[in-house]
Amino acid sequence: MSTIATRVASGVAVLTLAFATVASSGPPAAADATRPAAPMSVLPQGGSSARSVDALTIGAAQVSAARVSLDKATKQRKKKSSKGARALAFAKRQLGDRYRYGGTGPNAWDCSGLTRGAWTHAGKRIPRTSQGQARSGKRVSKSKLRKGDLVFFYSGKSHVGIYAGKGRVIHASRPGKPVAYIKIKHMPYAGARRPA
């Protein structure tokens, strides 16, 4: 953002110089209605006024290109984060559902069935098992977790939950326990992945 601000300030300075140059040259002569205006190609191209206009045009183009680049990056970030948010929202709606080994919904889940269902709902298909899910997507460090990321536990990555923020995941843990929140620190952390 500081680069954009610098370029805008530079453009304003050039514009000020261009106006000062035009103002100091005096009022324009009256136009002759019987003669067509000279095309741009034959107008004088030298001098500080022309250089000022050229610099202003280049500065404006650079600011415009930087804005387009920033808008594109922002849209990509929003698209990625919105998929994670949709996956998490799906998992939240399953809170209280019962655990069933091999369960893939709609009312009973195992751990990887829940995470797969959530990400399928968000528009991204991921492998069925926790070990398969641990090999897909982008590896994420614990300090960079975002809502919707997959968080794995135990040495064989045999358990997975969906990151819900504030150091918690939503998971389907074991028979007799419904889908619920749990703090990451209560299980042996084994890594995280971002499917999209």
Angle at the Cα of 9 from the Cα atoms of 68 and 14, rounded to 5 degrees: 105
Active site (annotated) includes residue 37 = no
Burial environment of residue 39 by CB neighbours within 10 A (0 to 12, 13 to 18, 19 or more): exposed
Q: How far is CA 20 from the centre of its chain?
A: 43
Q: How far is CA 13 from the centre of its chain?
A: 33
Q: Which residues pair with 194 in a beta bridge?
A: 138
Active site (annotated) includes residue 171 = yes
Where helices occur in 94-163 by DSSP H, the ranges are: 111-121, 130-133
164 vs 146: CA distance, rounded Å: 8
- The DSSP bridge pattern shows strands 138-139 and 150-153 to be unpaired
164 vs 95: CA distance, rounded Å: 12
Q: Which of 18, 87, 91, 111 is catalytic?
A: 111
Q: Which of 159, 168, 193, 194 is catalytic?
A: 159
Q: Which of 83, 157, 171, 193 is catalytic?
A: 171
CB 112 within 8 A of CB 119: no
| Longest CA span, the chain | 95
Candidates 177, 157, 56; CA nearest to 109 is 177
Active site (annotated) includes residue 159 = yes
**Residues tagged active-site:** 111, 159, 171
